[in-house]
């Protein structure tokens, strides 16, 4: 019997880490303002990113020293807050990428390995 509640919980847990990785990855090539990040990440199937998810995460990443911010006045409305990776954020992103690649490689190996008991 399928358990939709179990699968829902599992996807929520997986998504939390992926969203953080995706935010850092999106900033890898340069700074972006918050709403631009929301639009970019909301377009990725399975992430379900909203402003209510992203802005607290960006705040936490800033407090952890992984991103920096700067405020830029905008002719189109209120000032925009731009986010950029710090040197620490770049190192953390590299470590996260390495870890994800290792996990994916190991999961694939599990599918290829026969149980020889």
CATH number of residue 102's parent domain: 1.10.10.10
Number of domains composing the chain: 1
Domain membership of residue 37 as a residue range:
4-112
How far apart (Å, rounded) are the C-alpha atoms in residues 23 and 108?
26
Sheet with 32-33, side-by-side order of all strands: 32-33, 77-85, 67-74
* Residue 117 covered by a domain: no
* Residue 77 covered by a domain: yes
User: What HEC string does 18-51 produce?
Assistant: HHHHHHHHHCCCCCEEHHHHHHHHHCCCCCCCCH
What are the tens digits of pLDDT across the range 71-105?
Answer: 999 888 889 999 999 999 999 999 999 999 999 99
- pTM score: 0.85
């Amino acid at each position: 019997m399928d358990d939709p509640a179990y699968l829902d919980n599992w996807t929520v847990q997986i998504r939390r880490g992926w969203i953080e990785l995706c935010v850092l990855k999106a900033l890898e090539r340069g700074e972006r303002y918050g709403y631009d990040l929301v639009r970019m990440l909301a377009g990725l199937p399975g992430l379900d990113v909203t402003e209510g998810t992203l802005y607290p995460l960006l705040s936490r990443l800033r407090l952890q020293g992984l991103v920096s911010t700067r405020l830029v006045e905008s002719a189109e409305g209120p000032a925009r807050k731009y986010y950029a990776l710090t040197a620490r954020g770049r190192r953390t992103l590299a470590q996260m990428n390495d870890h994800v690649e290792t996990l994916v490689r190991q999961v694939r190996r599990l599918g290829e390995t026969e149980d020889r008991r």
